[in-house]
Amino acid sequence: MQIQNSFPVRPIPYLRDGVPGLTMAEQEAVLHAAGVNLAAAYRDRLTKAQIKRRDPDSLGERAKMLRPTPRRTPETINVASLRVLGWSMADVSRALAAAGRCEASVHAVDRGQTFTAATLDAELLEALADAEEERRRGQTAAGRSAGVQAAAASREKRRAAKIEKASSLWCKLPGEISGAEIAALVGLSVRSLHYHLGPREDARAKASKK
């Protein structure tokens, strides 16, 4: 599936150490063969200890690439393979969700597929990531129950913090900041913000009465 867009698209290559069966040099070769310019690539160079820990927080360049800021130019993140984006299926799903929130598409060279921002449903991908993490934690009945409850509480806490952050912006005029920009800044979809905060005109009316 290729992107059909009349506007120029900015390619963003991403490479990292610690991908099983795909060294950074091999990733470079794959991307270079596909015609991807690596001059402005994001690269996570990791130590052996970081690779062993497989901690998502160690991927600092990935976090910088996926920072929730409004994009003015369409962007496509280019990776040799989708597994370059994370340590596990859950981690990859969260990275794809972050790309979707940033309105960036993702192109996997090995599959020859581009997943557009419109197809990267952030909330669905987050749900899949949560489900995978719960599956891994749920080795026993007690573990499954505790894992599901802990994950639900953690999700609710994160969502509440994001909604609280968005509420102060939601009452501003669209000319000051758009709904899409607020969604990108807080890491939620516009649909979720409408659900939790209501119409923006109502929020402005309430703010004007204070």
Mean pLDDT of the chain: 85
Write down the pLDDT at residue 6: 43
Write down the pLDDT at residue 107: 95
Please indicate, yes or no, whether the overall pTM of this predicted structure exceeds 0.75: no
Return the higher-pLDDT residue of 11 and 146.
Answer: 11
Contact 69, 102 (CB under 8 A): yes
Task: Examine the pLDDT at 141 and tell me if it is beyond 60.
Answer: no
How many CA atoms are closer than 13 Å to the CA of 27, on its beta-carbon side? 27
Best-predicted range by mean pLDDT (23-27, 125-129, 186-190): 23-27
Write down the pLDDT at residue 159: 81
Write down the pLDDT at residue 208: 77
Write down the pLDDT at residue 1: 37
Could you tell me which residues come within 8 angstroms of residue 62 by beta carbon, excluding any fewer than 6 positions away? 14, 16, 42, 44, 85, 95
| Calpha distance 190→194 (Å, rounded) | 6
Name residue 113's beta-bridge partners: 108
